[in-house]
Chains A and B, each alone.
Chain A
Amino acid sequence: MSFPWAKEYTPTNGVAKFLDEKLPLPRLVYNAVGAGYPVPRNLSYFWNFGVLAGFFLVLQIVTGVVLAMHYAANAQVAFATTEHIMRDVNWGWLMRYAHANGASFFFIVVYLHIFRGFYYSSYKAPREMIWLLGVTIFLLMMATAFMGYVLPWGQMSFWGAKVITGLFGAIPLVGEPIQVWLLGGYAPDNAALNRFFSLHFLLPFVIAGCVILHIWALHIPGSSNPTGVEIKSESDTLPFHPYYTVKDGFGLGVALLFFMTMVFFLPNALGHPDNYIEANPLSTPAHIVPEWYFWPFYAILRAFTADFLFIPAKLMGVLAMFAAILVWFILPWLDKSPVRSGHYRPLFRKFFWFGLIPAMIVLFICGGAPAEEPYVMLSQIATAYYFLHFLVILPIVSQVEQPEPLPYSITEAVLGSDKKAVLGENATPAV
């Protein structure tokens, strides 16, 4: 895709001409993240997080590959090789802390990226495919992170693996055979550790493939923007390079400042102390909690404490936890409001800020807290709102809401007037 005014790549020297003829990789880069890609001129800093997510994916792959050179996926020695990395491998402690905190930062930037998508309805036509790929990436990230957390073979690794694979045991009839098949045994042990390591190495490259598709799909309609009004003319856009390369560069600097502060000064703040105790199948930790990025979904899982009709509570919790993410897949068809940006949707905005965001915060807190009152009841109310929000409120709001007036174009939103709009040129209908 491109807009008619997109700059064209022109090779300037012999090598560039040779390459452009045989393998136009420079042209691809130029059109993807160079001057050949026109981007809305009004993107806010919320549009930085896609690039940051890409950066953290690369960081995870690089640190992960180095760690894999020193780690042994064997239940006898996994914990000891992790300590070997921390103590005896040159800069091993830095690799491991960067990898562990890198996972957290990957989730932080991806959650902000998804938040941006929710508020500005980035999932709406013509960008449904970008959204579907994005949710797929998120699911793959969750699987990868879960399996990675098992590898150090600490207490939380072991018991987390036991609880999460135990979820499959809730499936009627075939649940237990599936659980045994997944683990390669009746409890997490060498077989489970080995396959988790294998998949933990594989999935990041699957994610990288999905990221390429995600960006490819993005380049067909181009980026959305805070007004949600589509690009109408050249004055609405700026070339990606240098305008957004430099802005992303600044954003990356800020993100790295936060990241390196965590790595060097608070490297264990986001982890759990119990994971520095070697896995012991005979000793159950007092509170089994997953990593912080799973807390909202863990809270939904645990909110179903009573059997409902003929469905056991555990199965209901498992279904709800998966449904809580799967519902994002059909979001483009649930929210049919023609207006994208939350800026111009008064009713949507109220439910978003006073409903969804508080519910997510409550779920986050309850997911990390022990399973006792008042956390259980709070998580139940928040879970109820979560499902109501996506599956009931959003479709109804998008039907009944009266949106506020949109600017004619991005140029008008930025500059206060659009000459072409005033002159009546290029008059395409709003939205």
Chain B
Amino acid sequence: MSQFFSIRVIGILIGLGFTLAVLWAFGNGVVAVISEGQLKQATVEHEYHKKPNDYAWSFDGLLGKWDTQQLQRGFKVYDEVCAACHGLKFVAFRDLEQIGYDEGQVKNYAASKQVQDIDPTTRETVTRPGLPTDYFPHVAYAGAGVPPDLSLIAKARPDGTNYLVSLLTGYTEVPAELKAEFPDFAVPATGYYNPYFPNLALSMPAPLVDGQVTYDDGTEATVEQMSKDVAAFLTWTAEPTLVKRKQTGWPVLIFLLFATVLAYLSKQQIWAAVKPKKRD
């Protein structure tokens, strides 16, 4: 008993030690807050950063499906606009068959791109026309900054698909209220104001203008339309298995529901004999 009592005494002392230390830190924090006069410093990001808007997607929800037409339009936007600066290194040309292109189209598209390879005889780096098994080629960007690879961008940002549309359509002038509230705020010389970007200014200028892409299916190429299409395409590149995943989920859940109900009924039956009668 006495030895366990001493564990408790030591325990109480240690406990009081940690409590004192953390309350000391708390006290320091309180003093800092009082001397600064406010709990939280209002920053321009806190006040003006916007969460992505909600858009409707064909692949949303429990029964979502790809809209192949939209993915193809989005691919065209990527190919003609984004691909100037951004790579797609985890996507192979052969993957394009999943969004409705046939083997010949994929072959032709791959051949239109130059990919790097190593010549097996001279062991020199060479470029050659792409094959369907090749991945989208690396994009060398000459300017300042590093444009991110777009393969996974829709999963690498919170609420990625909606974020992409919001960002692409969200370029504006710096609001007058912001200038009034934060006179020190300045968009860097190489930056462009966009309230959907975490620090409100990004190096990419607004990439899309109305009519920039001519869609094969005759859809009018507004900035919003192109933004949505390319966001859908990049959602597919980020997770080509998204629709298959949802379609596999249903039978799994239905089977489990059935099995769980059976298990419940078995449990009720087996336990019936030993359950106490209801007390009144």
Which residues of chain A have a CB within 8 Å of any CB of chain B? 41, 80, 83, 86-87, 93-94, 97, 238, 242-243, 246-247, 249-250, 252-254, 256-257, 260-261, 263-265, 267-268, 273-274, 276-277, 286, 303-306, 308, 311, 313, 316, 319-320, 323, 327, 330, 333-334, 336, 372-374, 376-377, 380-381, 383-384, 387-388, 390-392, 395, 414-416
Contacts and interface: CB of A to CB of B under 8 A. Distances in A.
B159 to A, nearest CB: 9
B158 A250 contact: no
Residue of B15, B22, B248 contacting most chain A CB atoms (<10 Å) = B22
Interface in B111-154: 148, 151-152
Given A41-B274, A246-B267, A391-B11, A276 B18 contact: no
A408 B90 CA distance: 67
13 contacts: A87-B241, A97-B245, A242-B270, A253-B256, A253-B264, A256-B260, A276-B152, A303-B25, A306-B28, A308-B24, A308-B25, A380-B22, A387-B14
A320 B21 contact: yes
Contacts of B39: 373-374
B186 interface: no
A416 B276 contact: yes
Contact of A249 (B20, B28, B151, B263): B263
Given A274-B156, A304-B25, A336-B4, A261 B241 contact: no
A273 B157 contact: yes
Residue of B18, B158, B245 contacting most chain A CB atoms (<10 Å) = B18
Given A87-B240, A264-B253, A246 B270 contact: yes
B16 interface: yes
Contacts of A246: 263, 266-267, 270-271
A243 B271 contact: yes
B4 to A, nearest CB: 5
A303 to B, nearest CB: 5
Contacts of B29: 305-306, 373, 376-377, 380
A97 B29 CA distance: 41
Given A87-B241, A261-B253, 17 more contacts: A80-B90, A83-B152, A246-B263, A246-B270, A250-B260, A253-B259, A253-B263, A260-B249, A276-B155, A308-B21, A320-B21, A327-B11, A374-B39, A380-B22, A391-B15, A395-B8, A414-B276
Nearest to A311: B21
Contacts of B271: 243, 246-247
A289 to B, nearest CB: 12
A357 B18 CA distance: 19
Interface residues of B, number: 58
Contacts of B90: 80, 83, 87
Nearest to B277: A415
8 nearest interchain CB pairs?
A391-B15, A264-B249, A253-B260, A276-B156, A380-B26, A308-B21, A250-B263, A306-B28
A93 B26 CA distance: 45
A93 B155 contact: no
Contact of A306 (B24, B157, B238, B263): B24
A44 to B, nearest CB: 13
Task: Determine chain A's interface SS by DSSP, over half rule.
Answer: helix
Contacts of B11: 327, 330, 334, 390-392, 395
Interface string B144-184: 00001001100111101000000000000000000000000
A380 B266 contact: no
A63 to B, nearest CB: 15
Given A94-B248, A250-B260, A377 B8 contact: no
A243 B275 CA distance: 11
A41 B14 CA distance: 40
A123 B22 CA distance: 28
A305 B260 contact: no
Nearest to B248: A264
A330 B23 CA distance: 24
A320 B22 contact: yes
B26 A384 contact: yes
Interface string B233-250: 000001111000110110
A273 B26 contact: no
B22 A373 contact: no
A263 B14 CA distance: 43
B191 interface: no
Interface in B18-61: 18-26, 28-30, 33, 39-40
Residue of B239, B259, B263 contacting most chain A CB atoms (<10 Å) = B263
A372 B40 contact: yes
B252 interface: yes
Nearest to A272: B158
A231 to B, nearest CB: 15
Contacts of A263: 249
B3 to A, nearest CB: 9
Nearest to B20: A308
A388 B274 contact: no
Nearest to B244: A93
B189 interface: no
Contacts of B148: 277
Contacts of A264: 245-246, 248-249, 252-253
Contact of A380 (B23, B40, B155, B253): B23
Contacts of A330: 7, 11
B15 A392 contact: yes
A373 B8 CA distance: 35
Contacts of A390: 11, 15
Contacts of A97: 245
